[in-house]
A and B are shown apart, each in its own frame.
Chain A
Amino acid sequence: MIDMNSLIAADPLSSTTSVDGPASVPLDSAFVQLLTPDGVRVANPEFDTWVADIGLREIGALYEDMLTVRRIDTEATALQRQGQLALWAPLLGQEAAQIGSARALRGDDFVFSSYRENGVAYCRGVNLTDLLRVWRGNAFSGWNPRLIGMATPAIIIGAQTLHATGYALGCVFDGSDSVTVAYFGDGATSEGDVSEAMVFAASFNAPVIFFCQNNHWAISEPVGLQSARHLADRAPGFGIPSLRVDGNDVLAVMAATRIALDRARTGGGPTSIEAVTYRMGPHTTADDPTRYRDPAELAAWAERDPILRVRRMLDAAGALTPEFEQRVASNADRVAAELRAGCLAMPDPQPLTLFDNVYATPHSTLQRQRDDYAAYLDSFDVASGAQASGAPASATRASAAEGERS
C-alpha cells in the first residue's frame, strides 16, 4: 500500500504532512532580510539603495501603520466575538508584508487582493467602516474599487491574480506606467488560475507584481503540501523573475516591492515576490488552529514578530520616546473607536435591494420577481397594521405553527 507521505516531496525549509500529527515548520532564513528579529539593521548593497530614503522618521511611520492595523485586527476580532461581525480574517503577524508593500505603491497603481489584506486596504485609504461591510454581512463590496485603487477582495482563492494581469495589460494598452499588484497566499499558488496568470503575464510582459504572502498555512494545510520547493522558485519556470524576502521585515518587503515596481514601470514586465511570514491567528474567526498547529511553532514565530523588531530598532536608536509611544497609542485607540462606532452604526440593507445590481440594464424577469416580492411584503404590513418595515416574513400567520416546529 502506498504511503501518501512518501509522495509529498519533503522540503527541509517547509513543513510536510505527517502521520504522526501536525508537523512543525523549521524556521526558514533563505530570504533577504534587512532588519533582524532583534531589530538590527543588516547591510545589503542590492536592496539598501531601494530604501535609502527610509530614515528613522519614516520607520516610525511604518511602525505606526503596523501597530494601527494590528489594532484594527484586534478590534474587528472582538466585534466578531461580540456578534457584530459574521466573520473576520485576521492578518495578525502579516503586518510588515502588507504595510511594507502597500506603502511602496503610488496612488495610481492598482491592487487585486485576497480577503486578508486589511492592512493593504488601510494603506490605500479605505474608510474604516467600509472595511467591515463585507464582514458584517451587509454588502459584498466595501468600497469603490476605482476610487481606492483596489479591487473588491476575492474570496475564491487565486482568482484575482488573473484579474490583476488583465488590468496590467490594460495599463500598457493605455500608455500608463501604473503597476498592478496581485496579493495572494501560499494556498492560492496551487490553484490553476495562479499558474495561468503567470503564463499570461510572462507572455505579454504585463506590468504586474505577484505578491505572495507565504503565511505557512492554508487553513489547516502547511505550505509543504502546496509546494515541494520554495514558492519563489515557481515564477522563474514561467520566465518571471522572483524575489524571496523576510515578510516580517517591513524594510525588506518595501525594498523588494520597489524593485518590482521599478521593473514593471520601465517595461521590464512581471515580478514575483514571496514574502515569508506567518499567520499567527486563525484562518478566520470560525477556525480553531489548535487542532492542527503546534503551539511551539507559533511561539517561535512570535519571536519574529514584524512589529517587535521595528520597536527594538527604534528603541536602540533612541527614537522610542514616551511622546512618540503616546501619540501612536492614542491614534490606534482613536482608529479602534472609529471602527467600532462605524460598525455599530451601520444600517441594515433594505430588503428590496436584493434585486439591485444583478444586471446593469433592466431585466424583465427579475423586475417581475421584485414586484411580486414587494407585494408579498406589503401583504404582511397590511395584515398586521405595521409600518412598511420590510421585516423578514416570519411572524403573523406562521406563529400558529411555531409550537409544532421541530
Chain B
Amino acid sequence: MTTMTLAKAINSGLRQAMQDDDKVVLLGEDIGQLGGVFRVTDGLLSEFGHHRVIDTPLAESGIIGTAIGLAYRGYRPVCEIQFDGFIYPGFDQIVAQVAKMHYRTNGLIRMPITIRVPFGGGIGSVEHHSESPEAYFAHTAGLRVIAVSNPQDAYALLRQAIATDDPVLYFEPKRRYHVKGEVEEELGASMESATVLASGTDVTLVSYGALVTIARDAALAAADDGVSVEVIDLRSLAPVDYPTIEASVRKTGRLVVTHEAIRSGGLGGEIIATITERCFEFLEAAPVRVTGFDIPYPVAKLESHHLPDLDRMLDGIDRVMGRRS
C-alpha cells in the first residue's frame, strides 16, 4: 500500500502493464519527453524507449487510426487524448472503426485499445479543455466506458482496461489528478462493478468521476439534516452496474443521479429510465437529475454555476425527499 496522487496511480498502472506485456504501447501528443501535459506518463519514455512511448504527430484521428493498425498486428495500444475537447477529430475512428471492428469481423479481430481521456471541468481553463463527452461513447455499441474517481480505482481499472480485449474509453477526472490516496497495486473488483461508498436508507445518490467526492460531502451534509444518503460510485458507465443501483433503490426508494455532463441524452436519463423500469414499485418519488445544463461548457468565470456542487446536490436530495420549498 502506497500513498500517491491519482495521476501517479495511472502512471504506475501504465508502468506495470508495460512491464507485464511488451505489446502494450503508448501513443499520444507530448507524452514522451514532456511526460504529458498532466505528467501522467512522466518517466515512461526513459524507462521504455521510443518504440513503447510514442510522441505522435499532432493528429487525433491519426492516433486512434494507427492504434487500430497496431491492434490488428497484435499490439495493445494505450492512446492519450490530451484534453476531452480534442477527441472529436478522432471520433470517426473511435465510433466507426474501433467500436465496430470485432462485430464486423465476426470476432476475428479484437481491438484491445485503451483511450485515456482527461475529462471534466473545474480547472478554470479555456474552451475545449473541460468537457464531459462520455455519453457519446456510452451510446456507442462496442465500447466500454470507465470513469474513475480516486487513485485506487485509477490504478486498478486502468490495469483491467488495458488487459481486456475490448476497446475502453477511460475517463480521468482532471481536477482530481493531484488528490492523494492509498493505492494497493492489485486489480480489485471487476471494472464493471459500481462501488457503494456510503450506506444510507433514504436516498440513493449515483455519481462518477470528479463529482464522487462532492457526492460524499453531500451525504455528510444531508445526514446533519436527518437524511440518510447512500452514495454509489459508478466506475463503469458502459456497462452500468444496474444490480448494485437496483439493490440500493429497493432499499431507499429514491434516486438522484449527478454528473457534470449536460442533462439531455446524458447517463442520468438512461440510468433513471432503467431503474424506473426495474424498480418502479419501489420508488417513493420521481428520480432527480443534478447535472450540467444543456449548454456548451461555459467560460471559466461561470463554470461554478454549470458544475453540480454541494448545494445543488443537496437541492436534488431535497427535491427527491419532497422537501422543496
Interface residues of A (CB under 8 A from B): 1-5, 17, 19, 21-22, 86-87, 115, 134-140, 155-157, 187-188, 190-193, 218-221, 225-226, 286-287, 291-292, 348-349, 351, 353-355, 358, 365-366, 369, 373, 376, 379-380, 392-394, 396-398, 400-401, 404-406
Asked if B49 and A373 make an inter-chain contact with CB atoms under 8 angstroms apart, the answer reads no
Contacts known (A219-B37, A393-B312); A351 close to B305, Cβ less than 8 A: yes
Contacts known (A4-B51, A394-B309); A137 close to B304, Cβ less than 8 A: no
B284-314 contacts to A, CB under 8 A, are: 293-296, 298-302, 304-306, 309-312, 314
Asked if A190 and B59 make an inter-chain contact with CB atoms under 8 angstroms apart, the answer reads yes
Asked if B301 and A348 make an inter-chain contact with CB atoms under 8 angstroms apart, the answer reads yes
Q: Give the CA-CA distance A2 to B22 in the complex, in Å.
A: 12
Q: Which residue of A lies closest to B264 (CB)?
A: A365
Closest 3 CB pairs of A and B: A137-B300, A401-B221, A220-B34
Chain A residues whose CB sits within 8 angstroms of the CB of B304 once the complex forms:
392, 394
Min distance, Cβ A214 to any Cβ of chain B, angstroms:
13
- Cβ-neighbour of A354 out of B61, B128, B305 (below 8 A): B305
Asked if B126 and A398 make an inter-chain contact with CB atoms under 8 angstroms apart, the answer reads no
Instruction: List 15 A-B pairs, Cβ < 8 Å.
Output: A2-B51, A19-B49, A137-B300, A156-B86, A219-B29, A291-B33, A349-B301, A355-B293, A392-B309, A393-B309, A393-B311, A396-B311, A397-B221, A398-B221, A401-B218
Say yes or no for B125: interface residue by CB 8 A criterion: yes
Chain A residues whose CB sits within 8 angstroms of the CB of B298 once the complex forms:
354
Asked if B301 and A191 make an inter-chain contact with CB atoms under 8 angstroms apart, the answer reads no
Asked if A155 and B127 make an inter-chain contact with CB atoms under 8 angstroms apart, the answer reads yes
Q: Which residue of A lies closest to B311 (CB)?
A: A393
B118-134 contacts to A, CB under 8 A, are: 124-128
Q: Which residue of B lies closest to A356 (CB)?
A: B295
Say yes or no for B32: interface residue by CB 8 A criterion: yes
Give the interface SS of chain A, mostly helix, strand, loop or mixed.
loop
Chain A residues whose CB sits within 8 angstroms of the CB of B55 once the complex forms:
17, 220-221, 225
Asked if B51 and A138 make an inter-chain contact with CB atoms under 8 angstroms apart, the answer reads no
Min distance, Cβ A298 to any Cβ of chain B, angstroms:
16
Say yes or no for B62: interface residue by CB 8 A criterion: yes
Asked if B296 and A358 make an inter-chain contact with CB atoms under 8 angstroms apart, the answer reads yes
Q: Give the CA-CA distance A140 to B59 in the complex, in Å.
A: 24
Asked if B30 and A221 make an inter-chain contact with CB atoms under 8 angstroms apart, the answer reads yes
Asked if B126 and A369 make an inter-chain contact with CB atoms under 8 angstroms apart, the answer reads no
Q: Which residue of B lies closest to A89 (CB)?
A: B126
B37-74 contacts to A, CB under 8 A, are: 37, 49-51, 54-62
Interface residues of B (CB under 8 A from A): 29-30, 32-35, 37, 49-51, 54-62, 85-86, 88-89, 124-128, 213, 216-218, 220-221, 224, 263-264, 293-296, 298-302, 304-306, 309-312, 314-315, 325
Min distance, Cβ B256 to any Cβ of chain A, angstroms:
15
Asked if A221 and B309 make an inter-chain contact with CB atoms under 8 angstroms apart, the answer reads no
Min distance, Cβ B28 to any Cβ of chain A, angstroms:
11
Contacts known (A373-B293, A376-B315); A191 close to B58, Cβ less than 8 A: yes
Asked if A192 and B59 make an inter-chain contact with CB atoms under 8 angstroms apart, the answer reads yes
Chain B residues whose CB sits within 8 angstroms of the CB of A2 once the complex forms:
51
Q: Which residue of B lies closest to A289 (CB)?
A: B34
Chain B residues whose CB sits within 8 angstroms of the CB of A218 once the complex forms:
29, 58
Contacts known (A140-B299, A398-B314); A369 close to B30, Cβ less than 8 A: no
Chain A residues whose CB sits within 8 angstroms of the CB of B85 once the complex forms:
156
Q: Give the CA-CA distance A302 to B217 in the complex, in Å.
A: 52
Asked if A366 and B295 make an inter-chain contact with CB atoms under 8 angstroms apart, the answer reads yes
Asked if B294 and A369 make an inter-chain contact with CB atoms under 8 angstroms apart, the answer reads yes
Chain A residues whose CB sits within 8 angstroms of the CB of B124 once the complex forms:
86, 137
Asked if B50 and A3 make an inter-chain contact with CB atoms under 8 angstroms apart, the answer reads yes
Chain A residues whose CB sits within 8 angstroms of the CB of B305 once the complex forms:
351, 354, 373, 392-393
Asked if B50 and A19 make an inter-chain contact with CB atoms under 8 angstroms apart, the answer reads yes
Chain B residues whose CB sits within 8 angstroms of the CB of A137 once the complex forms:
124, 126, 299-301
Q: Give the CA-CA distance A217 to B116 in the complex, in Å.
A: 24
Asked if A398 and B311 make an inter-chain contact with CB atoms under 8 angstroms apart, the answer reads yes
Asked if B302 and A351 make an inter-chain contact with CB atoms under 8 angstroms apart, the answer reads yes
Q: Which residue of B lies closest to A195 (CB)?
A: B59
Q: Give the CA-CA distance A22 to B32 in the complex, in Å.
A: 10
Chain A residues whose CB sits within 8 angstroms of the CB of B58 once the complex forms:
157, 187-188, 190-191, 218, 221, 226
Chain B residues whose CB sits within 8 angstroms of the CB of A193 once the complex forms:
89
Asked if A220 and B302 make an inter-chain contact with CB atoms under 8 angstroms apart, the answer reads no
Q: Give the CA-CA distance A392 to B302 in the complex, in Å.
A: 8
Chain B residues whose CB sits within 8 angstroms of the CB of A226 once the complex forms:
57-58
Chain B residues whose CB sits within 8 angstroms of the CB of A135 once the complex forms:
126
Q: Give the CA-CA distance A137 to B182 in the complex, in Å.
A: 35
Q: Give the CA-CA distance A146 to B311 in the complex, in Å.
A: 41
- Cβ-neighbour of B125 out of A87, A188, A392 (below 8 A): A87
Contacts known (A191-B59, A406-B213); A358 close to B301, Cβ less than 8 A: no
Q: Give the CA-CA distance A138 to B299 in the complex, in Å.
A: 6
Chain B residues whose CB sits within 8 angstroms of the CB of A22 once the complex forms:
33
Chain A residues whose CB sits within 8 angstroms of the CB of B311 once the complex forms:
380, 393-394, 396-398
Asked if B125 and A1 make an inter-chain contact with CB atoms under 8 angstroms apart, the answer reads no
Chain B residues whose CB sits within 8 angstroms of the CB of A348 once the complex forms:
301
Q: Which residue of B lies closest to A358 (CB)?
A: B295
Chain A residues whose CB sits within 8 angstroms of the CB of B217 once the complex forms:
401, 404-406
Chain A residues whose CB sits within 8 angstroms of the CB of B314 once the complex forms:
397-398
Asked if A192 and B34 make an inter-chain contact with CB atoms under 8 angstroms apart, the answer reads no
Q: Which residue of A lies closest to B299 (CB)?
A: A137
Q: Which residue of B lies closest to A134 (CB)?
A: B126
Q: Give the CA-CA distance A60 to B35 in the complex, in Å.
A: 44
Chain B residues whose CB sits within 8 angstroms of the CB of A392 once the complex forms:
304-305, 309
Chain B residues whose CB sits within 8 angstroms of the CB of A1 once the complex forms:
51
Q: Give the CA-CA distance A138 to B124 in the complex, in Å.
A: 11
Chain B residues whose CB sits within 8 angstroms of the CB of A401 once the complex forms:
217-218, 220-221, 224, 310
Q: Give the CA-CA distance A86 to B58 in the complex, in Å.
A: 24
Min distance, Cβ B49 to any Cβ of chain A, angstroms:
6
Asked if A3 and B294 make an inter-chain contact with CB atoms under 8 angstroms apart, the answer reads no
Q: Give the CA-CA distance A366 to B304 in the complex, in Å.
A: 18
Asked if B301 and A155 make an inter-chain contact with CB atoms under 8 angstroms apart, the answer reads no
Q: Give the CA-CA distance A284 to B88 in the complex, in Å.
A: 22
Contacts known (A17-B32, A136-B301, A398-B310); A366 close to B126, Cβ less than 8 A: no
Asked if A354 and B302 make an inter-chain contact with CB atoms under 8 angstroms apart, the answer reads yes
Min distance, Cβ A406 to any Cβ of chain B, angstroms:
7
